[in-house]
Structures are given as C-alpha cells and as structure tokens.
Structure 1
Amino acid sequence: MTRTKLCGLWQIRDIVAANEVSPDFVGFVFAQGSTRYVSPEHASALRKLLSPGIKAVGVFVDESPEMVAALLNQGIIDLAQLHGHEDEAYIDALRNITDKPLIKAVRVRTAEDIEEANQSTADHVLLDSGTGTGRAFDWSFLKHMTRPYFLAGGLTPDNVAAAVRRLRPFAVDVSSGIETEGKKDKAKMTAFQAAVQEVNDR
C-alpha cells in the first residue's frame, strides 16, 4: 500500500481540509526561505488541530540538530525530513539527541544519487528533483533502488495514480501539485488522495 504525504500546509484551513482528506502524513516547512514557511509556534498550533491519526513531518534545510530534535522531542512533529546538505555525521549527531524517525531527501540527477539514497542510515529516504521544483526526475533511475522510498517531484492528482501503479513507492509526496495560485486547494487534495486510494484498493 502506498501512503500519502501532503506537504507545505501552513493555514488553519489546510489542516481542516487534511483532516477530511486523511492522508498518512502532512508536512510543515521550517525552511525560512520558503513561501510555505511556518514558525515552530505556528506549527505547534496547527499540530493541535491535526487529527491524531495523521503524522506530522517537519521539513528542514541545513537546520541545527538541536532545533530539529527540539521540535521532535516536544511532539510538534513526528518525523524530521532533512532536505539540505545533511550528511551521515549530521544524522549521527541528531540520533544522539532524539530517537524519532528521520527522512533524508535526496535530489536525483544521476545513478550515484540513487546509491546515496540506498546507503543512507536515515529511517526513510525521499527522492525528489529538487526543493519544491514541481518537476519530476528521471524515474528510470529507480530501477536501482533497493529500499522503500517516498516519491516526490511533479506529482499531481492527474498523474499520481500512474506513478503508484508503475513504481509502487512507500509513499508519494505532493505540495505544489495540490495548490491553486500558491494556496492549498481542498479539491485537489481530495482528488490526489482518492487517486492513490483507488490504486491501493485494486
């Protein structure tokens, strides 16, 4: 069964919609350069509104391990997604101060990037074309994957079913693909979830 992650939620209405759609994960972006940035305080308020069955993922770009661990250990987020240049030493440092699950995002451009993902000691890996580019990478590289993965980049309600049928990833991750004019669109969120569920139900 492929899971779903709706990322970049930052408004109360996004959480209300997510509670109705019921994805497996939602993502809060803590990278200050992002248009979807949420502060720790705002994320805490949003988390309190989130249905208990939905896990919250914090997305970080080269943040200090102490900051990431604090949000995990306080229960504001359940998992941390590392979307910058975090290496194995960084992951080791984080492991020393939190036991919460980690997702390492890998930008896929070559077969070597796939090998990096396979070798990562993070609990999960996420494969993407970049940080919020809204474009897909060359999926032919995925034949070299030896572990489950989150698939991101260029997914929409219109193409996610085909992606799930073809690749059977552990999870699919979407942000811009469920937006209209830069804001989360409940209809698109619903359609994305339904498309994945339809494939899972077959």
Structure 2
Amino acid sequence: MTRVKICCISSIEEARIAVREGASALGLVSQMPSGPGVVTEDLIAEIAATVPPSVGTFLLTSRTEPADIIAQQKRCRVNTIQICDRLAPGAHDFLRESLPGVSLVQVVHVNDESSVEEALEVSRVVDAILLDSGNQSLPVKELGGTGRTHDWALSKRIVQSVDVPVFLAGGLHAGNVSEAIRAVEPFGVDLCTGVRTEESLDPRKLSAFMEAVRSVA
C-alpha cells in the first residue's frame, strides 16, 4: 500500500490515533513563517518519544543553517528531518555526516518546470523527496500546509526521474487521494488539513482517507 504520512500532529493522542489507523510516518511542525500545525520543540520531543520505532517521526524545519537543524534534531530526537526550505550546496552532506541514522527528506515546491530539475539535483543527497504546494519567493514564505493541489503531471515526471522515494502532498483528502495516487504513483502521500476539523485530527476523516488509499492497492 502507498505509505501515509499524517502531518501537523499536535498531541500524543493525535499520534496514537494516526498510528492506530495505519500511518507510516507523523509530521511534527516546528517554527514556520506560515501554515498550520506549529508546536513547541518540547512537545515535539514528548510526542516523538511515544511513537513506535517502525513509524517515522518527521521534524518539519524551516531552518537553513545546518548547525541550527542539527541542534533541533538533538533537542527533538526525531528519526527524520523534513527540510522545508532550500539549503546551500554541501549542506545536506554536512547534515548526513553529523546525524548518522537520521533520514533526510527534502521538500520541493512544485510550481513549474524548474521544480523537476530541482528535484533531480537534490535527490542525489537525500533519502527521499516530498512534493508540496508552496512558494519560497513570497515576502512571507509558504513552506507547506497551503491546502492547495499542484500540477500532478509535473509530480509524475519527478517520480519517474529520481531514484529515491517520493511523497506527494498538497491539498489531498479522501475525495481526491485515489486519483492522485493513480496519476503520480508516489511512494507515499502526506496531508494535514484534509483530515482535520477545526484544526483537530478528525478520526472519521482519517479513516475515510486511509480507506481511499487502500482502495487503490
């Protein structure tokens, strides 16, 4: 089955619900310039400590300095870093050397043809890519959580071009995830707002989403 990452986890109880429903990974959002789901690093560490080792704990970071990202991981004790902004050349290699055993996932915001080249280049230095809807060029950066879909044809080209797993995010919900999986054929899908009601994880929406993913398999 296509892997499922549930993002914006904000409590131990939400983490338990997501794991119980079959999530392969949980997204824990640290400070961001915009978007939903931000929690404190203390809470991220508390939640991550309760998650089974087989489930990915993704720290979403907007930091771009490797030293800052390393310090965050040390405080939060997650097993995966989701890098939501672009890093300078060589930064990923430095992170890999400094954080052995911690997976690196780079977000690529799919906007136009340049996103395909960006994904191909960064795929050489990370463990996975996450395709999302956002824009780093705005005065207030959009680094995810927009609730918008993007051009899945471009996402499909990226999946076919790279040699690492690709997660698809951006405006997914129970009503469109089956179509998205068939169109893009990603390794996994990722969502936040599509399984929430008034900012809280909604077990019924989550169950419907998981059922829609399973229907494709």
Q: What TM-score does the superposition give when structure 2 sets the normalisation length? A: 0.84
Q: Distance in 2 between matches of 1:135 and 1:123?
A: 25
Cα distance, 1:199–1:138 mapped onto 2, change above 3 Å: same
Query: Which range moves more in the overlay, 47-56 or 107-116?
Result: 47-56
Cα distance, 1:143–1:190 mapped onto 2, change above 3 Å: closer
Structure 1 residue 95: Cα displacement: 2.2
Question: Pick from 145, 153, 160: which aligns with 2:170?
Answer: 153
Secondary structure of residue in 2 paired with 1:96? helix
Counterpart position of 2:85: 84
Matches within 5 A, 1:1-202: 1-33=1-33, 34-72=35-73, 76-99=77-100, 100-120=102-122, 121-130=125-134, 131-145=144-158, 146-147=161-162, 148-200=165-217
Q: Distance in 2 between matches of 1:13 and 1:30?
A: 18
Structure 1 residue 63: Cα displacement: 4.8
CA contact (8 A) 2:64 2:86 kept: no
CA contact (8 A) 1:151 1:169 kept: yes
Secondary structure of residue in 2 paired with 1:166? helix
Counterpart position of 2:138: none
Q: Distance in 2 between matches of 1:88 and 1:4?
A: 30
Secondary structure of residue in 1 paired with 2:206? helix
CA contact (8 A) 1:62 1:85 kept: no
Q: Distance in 1 between matches of 2:156 and 2:150?
A: 13
- Alignment: residue pair count: 200
Q: Distance in 1 between matches of 2:156 and 2:49?
A: 40
Q: Percent identity?
A: 31
CA contact (8 A) 1:61 1:85 kept: no
Q: What TM-score does the superposition give when structure 1 sets the normalisation length? A: 0.89
Q: After the TM superposition, which segments of 4 or more aligned residues of structure 1 sit over 3 Å from their partners?
A: 32-35, 70-75
Q: Distance in 1 between matches of 2:68 and 2:211?
A: 35
Structure 1 residue 22: Cα displacement: 2.1
Q: Deviations over 1:86-127 (max 9, x none)?
A: 233321231231122111101111111111101112111111
Structure 1 residue 75: Cα displacement: 7.3
